[in-house]
Amino acid sequence: MRGALTGSIVSSVFAVAWSFWAASGMHFFAALCVQLAATLLGLVIIISALRRFFGSARGVSPENRTLFSSRAFVIVAVAEVLAIIGGNLVLTLTGQEQFRIALIAAIVGLHFVVFGRLFWTGFFWLGAAMLAVAVAGTVVGLVTDNADLILVTTGLGSAASLFIAAVPPLLPRRVA
């Protein structure tokens, strides 16, 4: 349970970051509203997760171990960072920087698909959602040639996916 709550916190922090990135493609007032809403939602999720985290049992039971300490996690995370760096280099060299957010969403989505295979099948849907958002952002960019629309589409879709992924560990547990 503690591992899932840690995941909720991490997911929420990244959702806020994606929201802020999306807001960079908006006019001032809309950007401010998105940033405020994302920050407040993130705080609600983080505070709820922390309250449950510190109220849950401690120990090293399999239920309380986190994926963050596994070797597979480190390998996937390093591969993800290298893919982001390499992809950004290619986009910069080809003059296609407007697709950076879609590229990163695709890489993050792929990393969640791998996590679904390695750790928990629930990561599959998050990976699929992030990949779908990356495709949507790319299509929007190809059709409109508007970098701001790519930012908004991909950023808000990624943020929504991560916020939704943060919620299940916070729901009341049913006792069988």
Task: Compute the distance between CA of residue 24 and CA of residue 32 in angstroms, rounded to an integer.
Answer: 10
Tokens 């899932």 label which residue? 4
Distance of CA 19 to the CA centre of its chain: 10
Distance of CA 39 to CAs 3, 43, 120, Å?
A: 23, 6, 28
Strands (E), the chain: none
Token code pair at residue 159: 């943020």
Question: Among candidates 41, 34, 54, 48, which has minimal Cα distance to 13?
Answer: 41
Q: What is the pLDDT along the chain (176 residues), one digit of tens a residue?
A: 777 888 889 999 999 999 999 999 999 999 999 999 999 999 999 999 998 888 866 655 555 456 767 888 889 999 999 999 999 999 999 999 999 999 999 999 999 999 999 988 889 999 999 999 999 999 999 999 999 999 999 999 999 999 999 998 888 876 65
- pLDDT computed for residue 175 by the predictor: 63
Type of residue numbered 86 = G
Parse the chain into domains and list their residue ranges.
Answer: 2-170
Give the model's pLDDT for residue 75.
92
Q: Which helix (H) or strand (E) holds 83?
A: helix 71-94
Nearest to 154 by CA among 87, 110, 104: 104
Q: What is the pTM of this model?
A: 0.86
Tell me how far apart the alpha carbons of residues 27 and 8 are, in angstroms, rounded to a whole number: 30
Query: How large is the C-alpha radius of gyration of the chain?
Result: 17
Joined together, the tokens standing for residue 137 give 């952002």
